[in-house]
Homo-oligomer: A and B are copies of this chain.
Amino acid sequence: MEIGILGTGMVGRTIGSKLVQIGHQVMLGSRDAANPKAIAWANKVSSPHALYGTFKNAAEFGEIIFNCTLGSASLDVLLQVGAKNLKDKLLIDVSNPIDYSSEGLTLTVCNTDSLGEQIQRAFPETRVVKTLNTMNCNMMIEPDKVPGRTNVFVSGNDPKAKEAVAEILRDWFGWKSIIDLGDITTSRGVEMYLVFWSSIRHAVTADRFNIKVMTS
């Protein structure tokens, strides 16, 4: 499958490498067509299936698009890409709205709104599914490295889009316990969880950890 990844940070590169590895064609998109991180990534992956270009190139290329940009930049990037290139497509939103302009860890949007909702509102003809943003990127693609079948969550308005994402999570990344939280407004919870996640990370002094929901 042809997949566009917006963002050349660690998350985008990690997901991109995994997707190439399992046989997909991946284009990493960034502000500049010749982004040094994207070039280094393509050289490292060393496959004809590892491509790079602008955000717009990557979105045009992909049947499915992963949003791995900084949350604070996501809306700008997507507007740059244009609604036409996102129309009817599955947009898997992995980003977190971290406010890098403030001290400490705070979010640019929370409580009464979320980045997932903002994106869905801005692109009503795109099928936005929020997922995977509740963990470190190494965890995203190798869930079995942590024992206990921990959970990944999906949020979105379109049940079929969520089912497609659940298949991707299951078949491509190896997730076994996927929880459908509900519509895109449930992005608020998974985004606001970042602050808790950061405290837990500090407390357990592990990059690779995740939560498991246990019921009686």
Contacts and interface: CB of A to CB of B under 8 A. Distances in A.
Nearest to A179: B203
B188 A195 contact: yes
Given A110-B111, A192-B193, A193-B192, A204 B179 contact: yes
A209 interface: yes
**A interface, over-half SS:** mixed
A7 B106 CA distance: 31
A216 B145 contact: yes
Interface residues of A, number: 44
Interface in A200-216: 200, 202-204, 206, 208-216
Copies of this chain present: 2
A148 interface: yes
Interface of A: 102, 104, 106-107, 110-112, 145-148, 150, 153, 155, 179-182, 185-186, 188-190, 192-193, 195-200, 202-204, 206, 208-216
Given A107-B111, A153-B199, 11 more contacts: A104-B185, A110-B110, A111-B195, A148-B214, A181-B203, A189-B195, A189-B196, A193-B196, A209-B214, A210-B214, A212-B212
